[in-house]
Amino acid sequence: MKEYELTVLIHPDLEADIETPLAKVRTIVTAAGGKITTEDNWGKKKLAYRIAKEDFAIYVYMQVSLPADAPLKISNTLNITDEVLRYLLVTVDEKGRKALEEQELAAKARTSDNDNREER
């Protein structure tokens, strides 16, 4: 299974009952043999340009593990799902993820060093 990032833009009129379209997206992923590792609802945000006569969308980010044939199945299904305005399914860049983790560790080390100096 390969790691992917899935970002889904859900129709803004569904904000009151967001769980229904999210359950539909989760079902699409799991039916294709995938597993959702993390899910993060970023909330309602303004779009850079109009999509389907909408200026806003609800952004939901998911990290998923998928078998080799699943991305095509998920893409085909999300293309015809009315609740989804747009989606982006990309593979995770392991080198980029490691570099980001190293930068975060270095930043934490710098802040702890600065804290130790201030205490003296």
- Tens-digit pLDDT profile for residues 71-88: 999 999 999 999 999 999
Kindly state the DSSP code that residue 12 receives in the 8-state scheme. G
Residue 119 pLDDT: 60
Of 12, 10, 7, 8, the closest CA to residue 55 belongs to 12
Query: Residue 113: pLDDT above 80?
Result: no
Of 34, 44, 46, the closest CA to residue 6 belongs to 34
Domain ranges of the chain: 2-92
Query: Residue 118: pLDDT above 70?
Result: no
Residue 7 pLDDT: 96
Residue 71 three-state SS: helix
- pLDDT tens readout for residues 61-72: 999 999 999 999
Angle of helix 19-31 versus helix 70-79 axis, rounded to 10: 150
- Categorize the per-residue pLDDT at 114 as very low, low, confident or very high, splitting at 50, 70 and 90: low
Q: Which residues contact 18 (CB under 8 A, 6 or more apart)?
A: 10, 41, 58
- pLDDT tens readout for residues 12-36: 999 899 999 999 999 999 999 999 9
pTM over 0.85? The answer is: no
Enter the CATH code of domain 2-92.
3.30.70.60
| CA distance linking residue 97 with residue 73, whole number of Å | 26
